[in-house]
Structures are given as structure tokens and as C-alpha cells.
Structure 1
Amino acid sequence: MWLRVVQLLRPSIRRPILSTSFSTMTDELKYRLPTNVVPTHYDLTFYTQIAPNTSKFGGFVKISLDILRDSSTVELNSNDLTLGEATISSDASQIQQCEKTVDAEQQRVSFSFGQTLKAGSKAFLNIPFNGQLKNTMTGYYLSTWQDKGETKQYALTQFEPTDARAAFPCWDEPLLKATFAITMISTPDSTNLSNMPAISETTYDPASHSETSDIAQLLSSFPPSDKWKITRFQTTPKMSTYIVAWATGNFVHRETTVALPLSRKTIPLRIYSTPDVIHQAQFALDVAARVLPIYEEVFEVEFPLPKLDTLVASDFDAGAMENFGLITGRTSAFLLDPEHADISGKKNVAMTQSHEVAHMWFGNITTMKWWDNLYLNEGFATLMGEVIILGEFLIFPEWKARESFISDHLQSALSLDAKLSSHPIEVECPDANHINQIFDSLSYSKAASVLNMLCNYVGQDKFLKGVSIYLKKHLFSNAVTEDLFRGISNATGVDVVRLMDNWIKKQGFPVITVTENGNGIKLRQDRFTEAGLATPEENETIWNIPLSIVTVDANGDAHVDKTALLEDREKEFAIDTTRDFKLNRNTIGVYRVLYTPERLAKIAAAAAKQDSIFTLEDRMGLLYDIMAFSKAGLAQPSGLLTVINALGATEKEHLVWSSISEALSGLLFTFWESPQIVESLRAFARTLFVPLVQRLGYEYSQDESTDVTQLRTLAISSALMGQDKQVIAELQARFKHYMETGDDSRIPADLQSSIFITAVKYGGQAEYDAVVNIQEKPKTPTARIAAIYAMGRTEDPVLLEKTFSYILGKSRDQDIIYFFRGLQSNVSARRKVPEFFKTNYDTFMKRFEGNFMIKSLVSTSFGGLSSQEDLLMAQTFFKDKDNSKYHMALAQTLESIQTRIAYINRSSADVESWLSEWENRPKL
């Protein structure tokens, strides 16, 4: 699943983790289904009726069972379904249930049959069921779209992690794999989709009674005049319930074919959507066609399905979902304006599609045994889909995927994992409330970063060979962490289990403190937290750290030692400290490095040189480490400002400039209630970025490099951060031209967010209304999201209240997080957001029950606060709330506020002093 909304987003949360003990065993007994019987095959038949007032579905499921122990009861998952009388057949006899017990809290139903089913036998369980279709974005749900002013609906599924049980009674745990034969019954004009291709489609007229008695009985309650389409699909391979999928609606599609190198078969690839947006779906289809053959070749495992579809959904909670053979996701995840696509939009679509295709192997063919190993799915799909395949296999080399990984994933992972309220990558998650919360930067980004570090240490070819060994050994079955590491050990000869165990199973990450002596360097590792070094009781873990030390020889040539490991608390390494050196070459390691101020100054000076031995990735890592150390009190923010000032004099790379912008934005976010610091930081930002704007201008060309395009966009947005009057005036003029003429040709796709925000922030009612109209009738998904952010950036109190009212009355559920993020970025609204959330708490809890969204709303609403009064307010409000669905996000948010308070108290004078000296510097 793709959750950049994540990070996504990707997500947000934490609590202290219990050690694996008796409590874990009892949790398993409480939250896991009994194993007296297991499913092997589902025959699932159901109808879908979408109507203006009441939409519903219903059918029956026949489940083939293996009886493992003598049993007279069968227990499985069901949630919010009306179940008919169950029957079970065994040894040519059919037994009706004698008792049914429903556990709504655990989402289970238990059937008692009054007769013992013998161990070693087989049985067939038949359960009729009915359910309501709602706009929940979970289970089997409704989605709406506008067709020439008319609201239309269709239905689709989202089962991960635990919502297949809301669509049909089943054993809804990843370990309990089975095959599925699905029959969908729908209106004749609908298109029916599922994991496998259709093997037949027929029209059923009740008057003809041409169908089986089961289907005739199922449809007998409808008027005889109704006609139905019956679509039967091929049986799936053995798979988990959370990747079962189907959809029915008036879809259209685009299609291509792809030749697969290993299986030597040619299969169709299709992308489906509603008719109004299908013209924007070609790019996502093209990406799938390019990456699918590469995955098959790299993993040395055949793609097992006869087709691969993608469905673009109008309403979707996460970013996208890897259902086997039927990928689903948001419009913003898969749609692009073919004429005016921005770089960030193209990256998002390509990464999403590649990520989901990677899941066809990681997650679908080979599946984690339980959700505590979610990272085996998500960490690998992130690394493979977004870095190795797109970058190393030259799909989009111009995007610098490996370098971008540092800012896109590594730093977000370290930021979250620096909290005491973080969690290990492999994390205990007994029930659904816990499972939903671990879809976060640790399961995705930290897991991907740790795997990337391992890949670099053992070598990519051997790493991928080990992955192939792992997949082949666990085809269509389930696995745990040690299974993966044994596969890589077999390919490399390295004891990967020992090397990586603490990276996966322990919370946090290390900081390496570097001191110099006559023999070289002495290194010490301690757990790093956002409040500084961990206390002794929090500092027990010793990680095996690949150091990747870069040194310089007498000729000035760089050498990298990838074999060096820090396996103890302290260790000395002999290097020549009279020459430049640095740990963590290319910022691949999942740790930070703390140098003495003198060494840091030398590295920064060397990094700023045109012929520096330090790479783009080194410069990014240097900045991010200093940012984190200044926040944690291990360095002064004045040191960060000094490094920014030095790099800004010579830097040419977009990604380093992006890190600089991020650092300044972070300081403005922290000291937002200190007017003098804010004004000085804005002036500093203007001196850095306005010259870039003047050099690069506002016009984009198809002939320019991707780096130039991205640098221009960044320079303009960062000059706006500095409130440069000329840049503001230019963007206002471009939006004014659009308002007066309806011509948006002066609003490049890469600048639309900056232009919309500027227009609303410095404008009035007319500009606000124009952006609202764009949001409601967007040309592209990215235009809608940009407009939503802009609606939250108005500084007019009346218009702010309109935005809050819009959230409650008109916003789509999937878009609400964009509204909150736009508002949190607005200092005029930052304290209004938590009050709005508190006032409407019950509404939001009901609106997003069971979704990923609620935890993000908690962290976004309160995460920008910075005073002791704010902290007390948040603690008081949540004190009597049931926070079981978001306790991790809440703990992390409260910790963030505490850290920010300490940062402000500790560092305000230092920041003011540096900025004062900078402002009074001699002018050239």
C-alpha cells in the first residue's frame, strides 16, 4: 500500500512497545482466530445494487475447510454483516447451525453445529450474507463522481488490513491463505473487475430462469423485470484475504500488453477509471508496462497472473493498494494531465505504480505471517519500487532516485524514530486498532532505509540474489524476518540475521560521536533521541553499524571502506586525520554522525568546494544531521545557519537547495511566535533564493533538465517563504490574468501551488472564491490538492471560517487531510485548528471510524503547537478520550510539542545572535 499521504504522509504514530513475552502469547489467543479448522478455497457469489437512497450487496460464500482438530464449532471473522443460517457439509451429510455467537468487538462469529467434525476430514461451510454499501472507504464501499453535473456512484473494495470481513465472512488473517472463485452479479451496464480475468459474462432475466437455483433464489426478492449481468472470474492463486478485490461501475479503460522475460508470456495491462478522467491515465499504464518485466527478471520469479489491472478511484483512504491483479488508488496517485504534468506529480504517479507492482511479489506471492512483519511488504516495495527499479534500472535516471531517497524517506524515518514514542520496525500489533497505526514512516521509510543500508553493505547484486532465494522458498506462502535474512545470507556469506537483528527488532537508531586522537578516530555509539542522547535506561541497544568511511590519499583521491563495522559501544579506527574524512558515505546508513565543531567546519568547507570529494548525498546528510543535532541540543542552530550560508555560496544541486529550504522552513516553523527571528530568517532566505529566481526566471522549457525545473520551482516557493515582494507580485499578476481571462497558460503546473497560495494569502474574497471553484472543478488531481492547500492559507478571519465550514459540509473524506495541512501551515490558523478539531471531535471520530485518516488528523491538528499552555491543553483534552485508534499518533504529537518547547527555550538567544551578526555583516 502506498501511504505518502501520507508521509502520506505514509503516516504517523507510537507508544512504548512491550517485549515479547507471555503477554504476547495471551494477546495472540485473544486476537487471533482458533486453528481447529482452516480455509482452502472460497466460492463467493454476490449481487450489488447501487440506488439513490439505499445501496446494498448480498450473496453467499461456500468455503472449503480442512479440519485439523475434532471440532463442533467454526469461528471466523465478520463485521457489520447480516448473516443467514450457516450450514456445513461433511461426509455427504449437511448440518445446520444450532447456535450462532457474534463478538462485535473482535469482529467474529462462531457457529456451533452440535456434531463433531473429525480431524483430518474436509468440510464445506455455506453462509448467506447481506450488507449495506456506504461511503466509508473501507470494506466494500461506494465512491461518487460527477458526470456533467450529475452525481453518479460505483462500488469498490479496500480490505487491507482487516476489512475483507466487512464484505464477506472469512478467515481474515494473512497466514490463512486460500484460493478464491468470485461471481459478481450487477446491473447489465456495469463493468465488473476482480483479481482475475472474467471467464464468462451472461445476462440473467429472472423470467427465463436460465440460471442456477442459488442465483435465482438470491435475486428472488427483486422485481421480475430487473435484469442482471453475471460475471464469473477465474480462480485465483493461493492468497490472503486482504488482497482480494473487486469493483463494479461504469468504467472505461486504456490497454497495452507486456511481454514477460521469464514466463515468456504476453499479458494485458489495463487501467480503468470513470470516463471523465481516463485521458489522464496513460502515464501510470506506461509505468506499469515498463517495470513489470524488470521485476520478473530481477526476482527470477514468474508473475503468476494472466493480467494486471489498475483502477483509479474517486474516493480512497490511503494512496494506493496492491490487490493481486487489481491495483487500486486515488486519482492523485495515478492521473496526470498529459499536456501539463508537473515533475512532482509525475514522480508521485511513477513511484506509486512501481511500488504497487513490487507488491505483486512482496506481499502477494510471499506474505508476512502476521502484521508485525508488515515491513516485509512495505519496506521492500518502497526500496524496490521507488529507488532500485526507477533509478538503478534507468526508468527515470534524471530523477536521482537514490539521492532523493535521503529526503523522501531516510530523514522522515529518522525524525519519527528519534522519538521515545516510536516503535521497532518489527512491532507487536495484536488487534485491528494497533495494525492500522503501524502503517507509518517506520514500516515504510525506516524499513526501506535499513534494507538499503544492508544492500549497500553486501552489494546490490548479491542482495537481489538473496531476495530471489527468499521469494522462491516461500512462493504463495508466508514468511518472517529471519526467512528474508537467511536468503540474503545464503547469497552473500554474511550472517545477516546477526548483523541486522537489532535494526529490525529494536526501537530507535544510533548517533556516532567522533573524536580524534594521535592514532586516528575513536567512535562511540549511543541511541539518539530528538531531545538529545538517550538516558542510560534507554541506551541499552548496540547496533552493528556499517560505517562506510571515506578518506583521502596523498594524491587527493577518495577511498571508501565499506567493510568497516562498529559492533561495540566504542572502537578506534586508524585513519589520517590530517586529511579530509567522513563517515556514512552517501548518507546510506541509518544513523547520524556527530563531529567536533572543528571537524564539522572542515567538512563543511570542503563540501562547499567545486571539486569536493564529498558527494551530493554527503552534503545532504551533513545538513540533515546538523538540523537534528541543533533541535536535540547537541549543537547550536547557529552552526546550522553557518553551514547553510557556506553551502549557499556555491551550491548548484536542487536536492541540496531543497535541504537548505527545509532547514529554514523548520526554523520558521519552530520560532513562529518570535517576530524578530521570523523577520530575520525571511531576510536570510531572500538572500539565498531570490538570486536563483532572478537567474532561472519563471518560464519552463521542455528542453531543460529536470534538475533545473525543480530548482526553479523550489527557488520561487522558498523566495515566497522569505516574503519577497517582487516574487509575490509576479505570482499575483499571473493569477489575476487567470481570473480576468479564464486563461491558465501563465500558471505552469510546477508553480500552481505557489500561485494559488500567494493569490489567496495576499488576496481577498475574489481570489478565495476562484480557488474554491478550481478545487470543485479541477482539471487535474494536483490542481485540486493545490487549491485545497491554498484555501487554508488565507489570513482573513472570515475566509478562514469559510474553510472550516467547508471541511464539515463539503469536503470529500479523502481530501480532509489536505485542508488540515494547509491550515497548519498558516500561522494565522495554527491555533484555530486544534480548537476546530476539539469542537468537532465526535464528528471526525464517526466520519473516519476504521480509516487511516484519524491518526493523521490528530498529529496535524496539534503538531504545530509550541508552548507549555498548548501542551497542557492537548493533554487535558485527550485525558478522557478513547485513543485506542490513534494512541501512537497522540504520544508522538505530545512529544513533538515538548521537544519544540525545549528547543525554543534553549536556542532562541543563539539564533537571534547569529542573525544579528549576519544582518550587520559588512556589505559587499
Structure 2
Amino acid sequence: MSIGSNSFTRVLESQRTLKVESYDIFLDVDLSKLRFDGKVKIRLESEADVKLDAVDLEVSQVKANGSPVKYQMSGEDLSVKTGKFSGTLDIDYRGTISEKLVGFYKAAYDGGYIASTQFEAASARRMLPSIDHPAHKAEFKLTVKTDKDLDVISNTPSVSSKIEGTKKVVEFQKTPRMSTYLLYLGVGKFVEVKEKHDGVEYAVATVPGKSSGAKFPLDVAKQSVQFFEKYFGIKYALPKLHLVAVPEFAAGAMENWGAITFREIALLIDKDSSVRIKKLVSEVIAHEVSHQWFGNLVTMKWWDDLWLNESFATFMAAKAEDAMFPKWRTWEEFVRLDTAGALSRDSLLNTHPIEVKVNSPSEIEEVFDDISYGKGASVIRMLEAYTGEENFMKGVRSYLQKYKYSNAAGIDLWTQIEEASKAQVKRVMSEWIKKPGYPVLSVSLKSGKIAVRQERFLFSGRAEKTTWPVPITMRLNGATKRLLMDKEEELVDVPGKVESVKLNVDQTGFYRVHYDGIYDKVWKAELSPLDRYGIISDSYAFVFQGRTRFDEYLALVDRYTNEQEYLPAYEVSDQLASLYALAPKAIAEASKKFHRAQLKILASKTDENSVLLRGVMSGRLALVDEDYARETATKFKDYEKAEPDMKAAIVAAYARSKGDFDTVIKNYKSRSSEEEKTRFLGGLVSYKDSSLVSRALGLAGSEEIRKQHVQSLLLGASRNPDARDATWSWVSKNIDWLRKIYEGVGTLSRLLTATIPLFGIGRAEELKRFFATNKIPEAGMGIEAGMERLKINEDFLRRVGETEQQVIQVPER
């Protein structure tokens, strides 16, 4: 990482001794030569010499209140010899538009490129000398000079645009007080689709040729703003909201105030878009729009509370999407993706608390993970269930009103919700956010009572006695009970005999449940789709822990063969797909049986969830069933007429059965739609012939595969059990290149967490030696987590190997 550590050693000191009022920025941007000249006037007060953050900027002059003053660059510190100071610093400097996906960078598309910014967490310093710290909020006034045929977008509307020969000068309105990481600048040729609603101008901005996908995101943005204005009780703060489609982007989206940036696939919807992408787009837009209040209007004091931004936005996005698209059953999707992803990541010893102490720059980016997003959001959902929806909303409103345009910490939010609900919010949340991991509740019958015992759940099976205050929901003999369990064991009285029992009703709690010898009573309970999901989800985790035998698990999967509901069926399919990546021989027959049965059930269904699931399951069956792959591949000749949600399956089946590399790569290169490119990218990693996957990976370092697609390419290749060797070979030879393209963002850490447990199978010692020799400090947490999960996978494979001959044949019903 090139973000130095020296600026972090003075974080608290700078908060005490320095106050920034405003930045007045002038940038002369030469897009053709990828450079810019800058002048910034910073109004501030300081008790001592001023230290600013600056990276890869060439400073030529500094003035303090109009007089030249001495300055020095050291690492990433620009030290200005002001002594005690109050007034304006004028700084002249020069910078380059980066080829990396961070700072002010080049984002290429077919036929050209734009320049766009990505500043979170600590990269505003790559475009202007600043106090690049979330607590140092200021007003920003931006003026940009560039070629007259280019467009310029920033956080606020432009107030003037003047032509000066071959150039034009665009001046923007002053922003509200905000953190540096929320500043935005985009320069290039944009096409805008605009619509005014309730005093706010909404605009989708794309590169030329992409604006046809703007209607759906415009509608979702408007509805999201309406939803959050009503929920939070505060109007949206700016006069406009841009949704900017960026052709090269490391993240999915970024909440820059008034100018949200997105990957094209996470924003644009056209006639060929699948239901899966419509869901993605609506969720991402709602997530980023919620940040306009929670994160932008009120901002964390420091990155320790990053989770507060991201968890809350994840949770609120689900609320908004559920209100906009009730038939999608968003909370089921939330549990399957956000909660499940967080439970899995938090089942490792190499995890971290929700609230994590940030001690070094690389840690900022590494904590943008399943814990910060998924666990935090799931614990907030659990808190809402505990306090009640109305009380929870009142507390959130009070928090936003009290701290708007300033900074706050997690304790400030819990205080407001506790005052509104009169519940023990601070005590409960303190335990959940400061402690890593989560509990498994073991449920049994003891002397006619329900006995509930808690301990930390770890995939490794290691026993760790610790307790959480667990808000338990229980359906007992048809009646719902609630209790706060804060000790190791709890006995629950039962009036009469226990006929049926189910804990964690509708999966609102962030914990797992194991029933000791009483699963017959669980199946007698009234089970919602969320409840049936919870049973198989927990069982899958218990298989990896060793608590449940693999043959027992497969018998349970068999019980779901004719499942009619979207969520439990999708979950079983997810599990079988993951197991295929690990143990293809042991799972193939069970996967074939389940997916064939489900495709028969889904064939006659027309709702959007079923359309989505039919496409997903077709692709998964094509990987394990050669006959089905050949049959599905015949549809490639009529690809353009195929249902959008079936297209990825058709491409995967075609690649799998035909081994035709040239057709797939030609389509990847020629398609303009990001979703179409992604479909053919999936084909490139689906081949049985690992040399073809190697060939695809070999294109990653060239211009033929976009940088933003490398992550998907590697994730897909690592999940192909025929391509493990090829994937590891490529990663080991290209690790330095990966570090370079992901410099300044946490992508590499998350990528290694996900891929090491797959391509590392059978070569754990080799990987240990490799990472010992090739130090990657910015991905240290991810590597450790990946190596731990690799050991868990190999332990699982050893257990499966002992029983494989017994379980690969699944009995017919």
C-alpha cells in the first residue's frame, strides 16, 4: 500500500489542534495527457505548524495569508511552517491522473476514457493536499478547467460554465460541510438522462452509448429518496443527485454526496437485463442513497466505526427495497446473502469484531468486509426485532437530528435508541460489536424443560466458552416466546409436553441453533420459508465443523428435493454448488438429483424470483450433468432470443460441453453491456479443460480483460475444481501485478480470503511458504482467514473421503 502510516500517528493530535473551515479548489485538467494542475485555498486554524496529507502530488508553492512560507514533503506529510495560524493557505501543485483504480484515475471504455475519483477511505490526498480524515469536515468549492468538449460532474450543481478558447471553466456550488472522502469529480464525455422530482434533479450519467439503461435506476433513486425522507424525517440535503456509471471501478458503488458512482452493471438496466441484475441495481442504489443521510449527513468520527456506515446502509437498503418490490421477498435475500456471508466469515478464529481498532492504513481497506457489512447489518436487524420497529425508528431519527453535519460514534446511536425504547440497548450492543464471533445455541430436553446452552461457534470445532446477550425468539408448541439469554445455560419452562419447538424464528438472530436429538419436534413446528432455510443453513455449517456427519447432511438435503419456496431451494442450491467446488465426486449425484427436481418445479412458475432461480439452477446443473450441459448448449445458436436469466447458464453449458474458447472470448470483447460481458466471463472459467481456463487467466494482465473483471475471473476459476492448478499457477506468478492494480483498495485481501480455500486444496504447505516469502501486508488479514478456511476445507475433505463410497449414491424417494 502506498498510503503511509505517518499521517495516522497524529490523528488524535490533529483533532485537538487543527480545524478546517473550507477548501476552494481550482483544477486545470488535461485529460489527453492524464495530468492536472491544482490550486487550493484552505481556510483553517492551527495551534502549531500545519501538516496536510498529500500523495503523488508535486507541490510548487505554499503561501500563508498571502506570504510565501517554507514547506517540506516527508512521506505523505506536507508540513507547512506556519506556527500557530489562522487564515488561508494557498497551495499550488501538480498531479497525474492515475492508472490505478483509486484517487483521481483513468476509467477506460471501448472508444475512450473518462477521469473519475474514488477517495474512500484515504485517497482524497491523491487529488488535493488536505486533512484527509473523516472528522475534519469542511465546505468544498470546486472550479474545473478542461477541454470545452468535455463534461464535468461534481457533488453539487454547476453555477457557471464559461468558454475560454479551446477550454471551458466550470464552477460548482459550495457543498455542505462534509468529509474529504465524499468529494467527487468526473471529467469526460457523459450522456445524461435527467428528471426533476419534488425539488431534486435526478440524473443518470453514462459514457456514450449506455444511456438507454437509465430509466429503472432513476425510478429506484427517486423512490429510495422518498422512502428515506419519510423514515428518517429529514429531507434530502442537496438540490441534485447524480448516479454516475463508471466504466472501470474497483468497488460496486460509492456514496459521494450528490454524485454517487457505480459500476455500470450495478446501475444500468435494459431490456436484456436479468432479474438478478435488477435486484442488484435496486439494492445498490438504495444502499448508496441511504448513505446520503447515514454516513454523509452524519459521519463516523474515525474508521473504527466504519461498520456503522456500512451496516446501517445495508440494513436500510433492505427496508427500502422491500417497500419498493415486496414480491422479491428482500429479507429472504438479506438472510441468504448478508447474514449467511457474515456467519461464515465470523466462524473463523481469524475474524474481527464489528467495531475494530484501526491501527494502520491497510486495515482501513481490509475491514470493508462481510463483518462490517453483513454482520453489522444482521445485528442491527436483531436489535430492531428486540426494541420494536417504531422505537428503533424513533431512536435513529433522534440520532440524525442531533448529529447532522457533524460526526458521531456507535455509542451515540445506541444511546438514542435506548432512550426511545427503554431497552438495554447499550449493554446488548456493546457485547455484540466489541466481541468477535457469535454463539451456537444447543437445544435439548431436560426434565420436561427446554434447555438452551450457548458457546462460541467455530468451524475448527475448538471449544470456546463465552457468552453473548442473545435476544432469543422461540416458537414453542405453536406459541412465540421471547427472552434475553445472557448466561451460559437457560432452562425454559414448558406448560405441558413439548410437541414442537423452533428457535430463531424467521432468522432474526445472529446465531446458529443445534437441536440435540429433538429434530423430530422441530419439523412439527410451524415453519416459514425463513425457518426452513435456517435449519439447512445451520446443518451445512455443522458439517464443516464436524458436528454433523456428511451422510446425515445429504439425507437432510434429500428432504428439500421438492421444496416449493424460493429461499430454502436457493440455499440448498448454493450449498451444493459450493460443495461441488470442493468435492465434486462426493456431491455430484446429490446435486444432479436436487437440481433436476427443482427445474421441473420451476418450469411452470413465472414470478421473477422463480425466473431468476431457474437460470441459476440451470447453470449449476450444467456443471455436474454432462447430458444437461450438451442439451443446454444447443440453445446457444438462439442465444439472442433466450430469456435474460437463462443466458449465463447457456454460455456456461456451451463452454463446458464444446470447449470453444474463441467464440466465448470474442463475445466477451465485443459485447457493450456489462452484464453480457459478465456472462461470457463466466464461460471463460467454466471449461473442463484447465488449459482453456489458463488461457483466459493469461488475458487478465492485458487490456483484453478489464481490471474490474479480474476479481470475478479469479473467483470463478477458483470455484472450478478442474482449474485449481491453473488458478494457483496464475496467482503465484502474478501476485505483484494484482497488488499493483488493487493498490489503495481492499479488494486483494477479500479476494484471497475467498480463493485460497479452493485453489489451495492439497498444497497448504506450498502456500504457507509462498506467503512467507511474498509478504503482502495490505492483505494480511485476508490471507490468514483464507489459510484457516483452507485447513477447515481439507479436514472436511478427509472426513468425506472416509465415507465417500457410502454417500455418493442418494436413494430415490
CA distance in 1, matches of 2:807, 2:691: 38
Residues 1:82 and 1:27: Cα distance change in structure 2 (over 3 Å) = closer
1:531-546 paired onto structure 2 within 5 Å: 531-535=460-464, 539=465, 541-546=466-471
Aligned to 1:732: 633
Query: Which is bigger in relative contact order (C-alpha 8 A, separation at least 6)?
Result: 1
Indicate conservation of the 8 Å contact 2:101/2:741, yes or no. Answer: no
Aligned to 1:595: 515
Indicate conservation of the 8 Å contact 2:582/2:793, yes or no. Answer: yes
Of 685, 689, 696, the match for 2:591: 685
Structure 2 residue 151 is the aligned partner of structure 1 residue 239: no
Aligned-residue offset at 1:35? 4.0
Q: 3-state SS of the aligned residue for 1:196?
A: coil
Residues 1:570 and 1:529: Cα distance change in structure 2 (over 3 Å) = same
1:472-487 paired onto structure 2 within 5 Å: 472-487=401-416
CA distance in 1, matches of 2:7, 2:260: 36
Structure 2 residue 199 is the aligned partner of structure 1 residue 270: no
In the alignment, structure 1 segments of 5+ residues that lack a partner are 1-23, 206-226, 260-265, 553-557, 607-611, 739-743
Aligned-residue offset at 1:861? 4.3
Aligned to 1:20: none
Aligned to 2:67: 95
Aligned to 1:4: none
Query: Kindly, what percent of the aligned residue pairs are identical?
Result: 27
1:323-402 paired onto structure 2 within 5 Å: 323-337=256-270, 339-385=271-317, 387-391=318-322, 393=323, 395-402=324-331
Residues 1:900 and 1:801: Cα distance change in structure 2 (over 3 Å) = closer
1:736-761 alpha-carbon deviations (Å, 9 max, x no partner)? 345xxxxx11x321011111111111
Aligned to 2:744: 850
CA distance in 1, matches of 2:448, 2:8: 53
Amino acid at match of 2:101: M
Aligned to 1:160: 120
Of 103, 109, 125, the match for 2:89: 125
Indicate conservation of the 8 Å contact 1:526/1:533, yes or no. Answer: no
Indicate conservation of the 8 Å contact 1:164/1:241, yes or no. Answer: yes
Aligned to 1:877: 770
Aligned to 2:658: 763
Q: 3-state SS of the aligned residue for 1:144?
A: strand
CA distance in 1, matches of 2:55, 2:41: 18
Indicate conservation of the 8 Å contact 2:55/2:125, yes or no. Answer: yes
Aligned to 1:63: 42
Of 124, 132, 139, the match for 1:172: 132
Indicate conservation of the 8 Å contact 1:833/1:861, yes or no. Answer: no
Indicate conservation of the 8 Å contact 2:61/2:93, yes or no. Answer: no
Amino acid at match of 1:55: L
Task: Report the TM-score, using the length of structure 1 for normalisation.
Answer: 0.85
Aligned to 2:450: 521
Aligned to 1:210: none
Aligned-residue offset at 1:152? 1.4
Aligned-residue offset at 1:913? 2.4
In the alignment, structure 2 segments of 5+ residues that lack a partner are none
Aligned to 1:796: 689
1:491-519 alpha-carbon deviations (Å, 9 max, x no partner)? 10112101111111111111111121124
CA distance in 2, matches of 1:628, 1:911: 19
Residues 1:865 and 1:770: Cα distance change in structure 2 (over 3 Å) = closer
1:61-107 alpha-carbon deviations (Å, 9 max, x no partner)? 0000123x2x2x11010000001221111xxxx43222x33232xx2
1:498-897 paired onto structure 2 within 5 Å: 498-535=427-464, 539=465, 541-552=466-477, 558-562=478-482, 564-575=483-494, 576=496, 578-596=498-516, 598-603=517-522, 605-606=523-524, 613-649=526-562, 651-672=563-584, 675=585, 677=586, 681-697=587-603, 704-723=606-625, 725=627, 727-738=628-639, 744-745=640-641, 747-764=642-659, 767-809=660-702, 810-865=704-759, 867=761, 869-897=762-790
Aligned to 1:78: 54
CA distance in 2, matches of 1:153, 1:711: 36
Aligned-residue offset at 1:356? 0.4
Indicate conservation of the 8 Å contact 1:636/1:910, yes or no. Answer: no
CA distance in 1, matches of 2:412, 2:727: 46
Aligned to 1:40: 21
Amino acid at match of 1:578: V
Amino acid at match of 1:192: V
CA distance in 2, matches of 1:418, 1:797: 32
CA distance in 2, matches of 1:77, 1:621: 48
Aligned-residue offset at 1:823? 1.2
Indicate conservation of the 8 Å contact 2:144/2:169, yes or no. Answer: yes
Amino acid at match of 2:376: A
CA distance in 1, matches of 2:625, 2:267: 34
Residues 1:235 and 1:344: Cα distance change in structure 2 (over 3 Å) = same
Residues 1:647 and 1:827: Cα distance change in structure 2 (over 3 Å) = closer
Of 302, 305, 309, the match for 2:235: 302
Aligned-residue offset at 1:586? 0.4
1:24-55 alpha-carbon deviations (Å, 9 max, x no partner)? 9997547974642221111011111011xx31
CA distance in 1, matches of 2:580, 2:261: 38
Residues 1:577 and 1:342: Cα distance change in structure 2 (over 3 Å) = farther
CA distance in 1, matches of 2:90, 2:30: 22
Q: 3-state SS of the aligned residue for 1:618?
A: helix
Aligned-residue offset at 1:643? 1.5
Q: Computing the radius of gyration over CA atoms, which structure comes out larger, 1 or 2?
A: 1
Residues 1:498 and 1:797: Cα distance change in structure 2 (over 3 Å) = closer
CA distance in 1, matches of 2:331, 2:680: 31
Structure 2 residue 187 is the aligned partner of structure 1 residue 248: yes
Indicate conservation of the 8 Å contact 1:866/1:901, yes or no. Answer: no
Aligned to 1:138: 102
CA distance in 2, matches of 1:125, 1:474: 29
CA distance in 2, matches of 1:76, 1:832: 46
Aligned-residue offset at 1:892? 0.5
Q: 3-state SS of the aligned residue for 2:418?
A: helix
Indicate conservation of the 8 Å contact 2:7/2:53, yes or no. Answer: no
1:800-851 alpha-carbon deviations (Å, 9 max, x no partner)? 3321221122211111011112211222211221121111222222233223
Indicate conservation of the 8 Å contact 1:790/1:822, yes or no. Answer: no
1:539-561 alpha-carbon deviations (Å, 9 max, x no partner)? 3x421101101122xxxxx3222
Aligned-residue offset at 1:798? 4.2
Aligned-residue offset at 1:361? 0.5
Q: 3-state SS of the aligned residue for 1:530?
A: coil
Of 347, 351, 360, the match for 1:431: 360
Task: Report the TM-score, using the length of structure 2 for normalisation.
Answer: 0.96
Residues 1:568 and 1:705: Cα distance change in structure 2 (over 3 Å) = same
CA distance in 2, matches of 1:479, 1:252: 38
CA distance in 2, matches of 1:798, 1:720: 20
Aligned to 1:452: 381
1:82-133 alpha-carbon deviations (Å, 9 max, x no partner)? 01221111xxxx43222x33232xx2211114xx436xxx311111111011
CA distance in 2, matches of 1:60, 1:247: 18
Indicate conservation of the 8 Å contact 2:366/2:750, yes or no. Answer: no
Of 497, 500, 507, the match for 2:426: 497
Q: 3-state SS of the aligned residue for 1:532?
A: coil
Indicate conservation of the 8 Å contact 2:728/2:760, yes or no. Answer: no
Amino acid at match of 2:281: V
